[in-house]
Every structure is written in structure tokens, then in C-alpha cells.
Amino acid sequence: MSESTVAVHRMAILGAESSGKSLLAEALARRYQSVWVPEYLREFVDTHQRVPTEAEQILIARTQVERELALFAEAKDWLFCDTSPLMTALYSRHYFGRVDTELEALEKQHHYDFIVVTAPDFPWTPDGLQRESPAVRQQIHEQLLDLLDEREIPFLMVTGSLPDRVEQVDFALSFLLS
């Protein structure tokens, strides 16, 4: 690799519903003059006017990964990914009690250079289709933390306002990249 070539790193921004993932991904893309990958699930729900079935969970995860790959070439230093197959699998376990084998394989093979978890300290906002309740948001948050700990996946938990969260990521990346 030449000195002028800079590797692009992928950052997964994970968290429960209505915890500010999309806002943070977009803000970080602006801050680092790069691009972000919006959450495909949101588009699916808006387009179909319903939540996905168990059989459609793999479609959600595959499409998310395909969009990451498509935007990777446009990224500068960092590609900010609003969610990952890990979250699709976590929600599948929560709502359907299981994860299909293809989704489980995708969840485990897809790796990121840095993981950020958004705390559920943003005001919860119902959207009529996708978001269930503040109680479910808290359950998903706890399940996510347990899963990351169980798999020994390091992550940065961000809290507070959007500017606070961007500052927390900036601070962590300043050490990571030095």
C-alpha cells in the first residue's frame, strides 16, 4: 500500500430502537467527510407499511450488507454503518425466538473495525409500525450488551446529546488512530 493510500475502516453503530443510531451515523459521516449506510429495515417498513416476517429477516441483513459494500468505495477513512446483521439477528431472537442458520452465519462473519453502542437515553418516539415501547427498547439494549460481552466484542457506549456522542467517538478514535 502506498503512503497516499488510506485504508477505509467500517464502524457499526448499534443500539435499540429510537436510540439515535441514524442521527449519530449521519453526524459522524459529516464530521469525518465520509458516507454512512442508512438502516435498510427502516426503508423496508416504510415501503411495505409493515414489519418484516421471520422469513424476511435474512433479506434485511443481506440488503444491509450489500449497501455497505456498495458505499464502501465512496467512504473516506470511515464507513459509518447504521446497524448490522448482529442487530437483525438479535431482533429475530427477541421476536421469533430463533435465528435462521443463514442469518446466524452472516451475523458471525461480518466484522467491523469499531463498534459504537447508542445508549437508550434519547426520548423514545413511537412511529406506529417499527417501534414497540420504551420497555422493549430497554430489553433490546440489555440483550445487545449481554451479546457483545458474551462474544468479547469491544465497543464504545455513547450517551447524552448528539454533540456529546460525536465528541465521545472523536475522543475514542483519536486514541485508536494514534
Full pLDDT tens readout for the chain, 178 residues = 334 456 899 999 999 988 999 999 999 999 999 999 999 998 999 899 888 999 999 999 999 999 999 999 999 999 999 999 999 999 999 999 999 999 999 998 878 999 999 999 988 777 666 667 888 899 999 999 999 999 999 999 999 999 999 999 999 999 877 6
8 Å CB contact between 157 and 119: yes
Topology of the domain comprising 9-176: Rossmann fold (3.40.50)
| Dihedral angle of Cα 87, 92, 98, 103, to the nearest 10 degrees | -60
Q: What's the pLDDT at 175?
A: 85
Q: Are strands 9-14 and 78-82 parallel, antiparallel or unpaired?
A: parallel
Would you list the DSSP string of the chain?
A: --TT----EEEEEE-STTSSHHHHHHHHHHHTT-EEE--HHHHHHHHHTSPPPGGGHHHHHHHHHHHHHHHHTT-BSEEEEE--HHHHHHHHHHHHS---HHHHHHHHH---SEEEEE-S-SPP---SSS---HHHHHHHHHHHHHHHHHTT---EEE-SSHHHHHHHHHHHHHHHT-
Note the pLDDT of residue 3.
41
Residues 6+ apart with CB under 8 A from 36: 25, 26, 28, 29, 71, 79, 80, 81, 82
- Rounded CA-CA distance 143/15 in Å is 10
Residue 129, pLDDT score: 62
Tell me the backbone φ, ψ of residue 118, rounded to 5 degrees.
Answer: -90, 125
What is the tens place of the pLDDT at every residue in 64-113? 999 999 999 999 999 999 999 999 999 999 999 999 999 999 998 878 99
